[in-house]
Amino acid sequence: MTFPRIEALAVTVLVVVTGVASGQAQAQADKGQQVFAAQKCSICHSVAGEGNKKGPLDGVGAKLSAAEVRQWITNAPEMAAKAKSERKPPMKAFAALPKDELDALVAYVESLKK
């Protein structure tokens, strides 16, 4: 019978593909963490107790979708109006970020699930 071998092969391929995908997601989030530091998001936000504790972002990945996080970064004034946020100083739009840095930053913020 050849089926078990094919199944074993399929499982191996699946494991490798999933492993690579999660590795890439992790690499993307790591890069995003660097963008977070470079853009000084921690002047107003904290992650795991590091940064401005008035704006904790812990768990924000579970609360907001990736699209919403992207909106916050690229169009914060509009999102703040929608969220009726009164916190000062308000967040400015980080509209000049290159796409790869923006994508990585969104992946990082989305990885903050708790």
Residues that bind ligand HEC in the complex, under the rule CB under 6 A: 36, 39, 41, 43-45, 55, 57, 60, 64, 69, 72-73, 80, 85, 87, 89-91, 94, 105, 109
Distance CA 102, CA 39 (A): 11
Least separation in angstroms between CB 19 and ligand HEC: 28
Shortest Cβ 81–ligand HEC spacing (Å): 11
Q: Which is nearer to ligand HEC, 26 or 52 (CB)?
A: 52
**Is 45 exposed, middle or buried, given 0-12, 13-18 or 19+ CB atoms closer than 10 A?**
buried
Q: Under a CB-based contact definition with an 8 Å cutoff, are residues 35 and 111 in contact?
A: no
Q: Which C-beta is closer to ligand HEC: that of 11 or that of 83?
A: 83
In angstroms, the CA 101 to CA 114 distance is 23
**Of 72 and 107, which CB lies nearer to ligand HEC in the complex structure?**
72
- The residue among 9 and 54 lying less far from ligand HEC, judged by its C-beta, is 54
Distance CA 106, CA 3 (A): 42
Closest distance between ligand HEC and the C-beta of residue 79, in Å?
7
Tell me how far apart the alpha carbons of residues 96 and 1 are, in angstroms, rounded to a whole number.
Answer: 59
State the minimum distance, in angstroms, from the CB of residue 94 to ligand HEC.
Answer: 5
